[in-house]
Amino acid sequence: MNNILTIFAREPVAGRTKTRLCPPFDGASAAALYACFLRDVCAMAAGLPGVQALIAHTPESNPAFFQQFVPGMPVRPQCGATLGERMDDALRQALAEMPASAVLIGSDSPDLPAAFIHHAFAQLAAGSDLVLGPASDGGYYLIGTREPQPRLLYEVPMSTPTVLADTLAIAQQLNLRVDLLPTWHDVDTAGDVWALEQRLRDAPAAAAPATRRFLAQHRVTHASMVQL
């Protein structure tokens, strides 16, 4: 395997995880839904040929929690004071182990197509310096590099609606060859859950099975999702 895929994750805690989904969900249900997201993302990643997937968890998380998803998948803590620092460290670690390329994703997109990750690694192998997966909220759901790019992660304020645009601006200053994947969607709000349900209706039955089961068992009114 010449490629490492790092999945950023956190241990779900009721009342602290996915709080923007409350309401219509309560704290325990929102945390349980995120656990389903994580299960689906890990299962998808584990099935990628030629890719070593691993979980990088937030420092406060219990590493043993993540062993339930894909037995044997490596688990390591995130290191750094800020999200950008932790992302930079994760990519550096991956590139130190597998110098060909490294890709990092979050765990808020349970139906992320595996084909997007395949394409990211293919573009890096073809010479792209940077691959980004634009998210519909103005950020990105995936970043891939062939070498560390600290300016992209240290100089861009994370969790803002301009993360993607700010990252692309710095990439242009650095004269990086950039490839953009199709836009996809994080699930952070009740409206995002509604949109996810619509996508899953049209997706193959094998897509995001844990999330699909949870949503089937925890129905909330579509009106409440759209209004929030």
H or E element: which one contains 95? helix 83-97
Largest CA distance in the chain: 49
Contact 121, 103 (CB under 8 A): yes
Name residues whose C-beta falls within 8 Å of residue 49's C-beta, 6 or more positions apart in sequence.
none
CA 134 – CA 116 distance, rounded (Å): 11
Question: Which stretches does DSSP call E strand in the chain?
Answer: 3-9, 51-57, 75-77, 101-105, 130-134, 140-145, 178-180
Give the relative orientation of helices 209-217 and 190-202 as an angle to the nearest 10 degrees: 120
Structure tokens at 165: 């645009």
Q: What is the β-pairing status of strands 101-105 and 75-77? A: unpaired
Cis check: omega of the bond before 23, within 30 degrees of 0: yes
pLDDT of the residue at 4:
96
Return the pLDDT at 223: 47
Q: How far is CA 149 from CA 84, 130, 138, 156, 224, in A?
A: 11, 9, 20, 12, 42
Q: Which residues of the chain have pLDDT under 70?
A: 1, 220-228
* pLDDT computed for residue 16 by the predictor: 94
- Which stretches does DSSP call E strand in 19-110? 51-57, 75-77, 101-105
Question: If you write DSSP's letter for every residue of 129-183 in order, what string do you get?
Answer: SEEEEEBTTSSEEEEEESS--HHHHHSSPSSSTTHHHHHHHHHHHTT--EEEPPP
User: Which pLDDT does position 227 carry in this prediction?
Assistant: 47
Q: Which helix (H) or strand (E) covers residue 35, if one does?
A: helix 27-46
What's the confidence (pLDDT) of residue 86?
A: 98
CATH numbers and ranges of domains, the chain:
3-227 (3.90.550.10)
Q: Note the pLDDT of residue 42.
A: 98
Query: What pLDDT is stored for residue 205 in this prediction?
Result: 87
* Both structure tokens of 95: 């590139």
pTM of the predicted protein model: 0.94
What is the per-residue pLDDT for 224? 52
The residue behind tokens 């099975």 is: 209
Give me the phi and psi of 78, to 5 degrees please.
-75, 145
